[in-house]
Amino acid sequence: MTLPEHAICSLMIAELGVRQRLGLQGVLVVVAAGVAPDLDTAAKLFGDQYFWKLHHALGHSVLSVLAIAVASSVIGRAALKLRNFGLLFRWSLLAAVVHCLTDSLYWWGIQPFWPVTSYELCFKLIEYLDLFVLTIWLGGAGWLYRSSRAAEGASTDRHRVAMLTLSMFAGYVLLRTVLPQPTGVFHLLTGGWMYAAAQGTPVLDWW
């Protein structure tokens, strides 16, 4: 997924059990943990060769995910004075693991056991910049923002929005698992459109 989609997904996860006990600061820590595996994109600064070798390996391995969860929890405890280290660790770990699992759904693999082995976990179910996936996450984020603006019952509403948004994404993944690869217009909507974009398009070219 794209970085904004990972951030929204992590936000939805945090809304399930962190905001109620650790507040907004706890949510921010979990969201940070949920996007942190993509820090390995910094390998692109050293050249495409390193990017393709290290992205989805360096930051997406079991060891990296554990380190991210520990580091997030330590920062939350030391810098933000969040007391429940165990709770923060569990939710940060969940967000980082979900990041890696959702990446494995796409047309590239993650290397969960790097650097011991280069084995790839790759399901090839979803294309990058799938507009249905993007709609689910952006729609959920907008709905969550609207619910947060409501003073009465806001906490319950946010929890419901998070559950429904995550369930919709899971349902879409299930559909893509059982249905054949889309063709025609549906192929364009599920990510094929980016191959029709002009070469050198800044955002697409960077990614």
pLDDT tens for each residue of 57-96: 999 999 999 999 999 999 999 999 998 999 999 999 999 9
How many residues in total does the chain contain? 207
Q: Please, what is the average pLDDT of the chain? A: 91
Per-residue confidence band for 149, with pLDDT thresholds at 50, 70 and 90: confident
SS3 at position 108? coil
Cα 181 to chain centroid, rounded: 23
Distance CA 100, CA 97 (A): 5
Query: Residue 202's pLDDT is what?
Result: 56
Lookup: tokens for 92: 């940060």
The total number of structural domains that make up the chain: 1
Domain with 124 in it: 3-206
Distance CA 69, CA 94 (A): 8
Q: Which residues contact 164 (CB under 8 A, 6 or more apart)?
A: 140
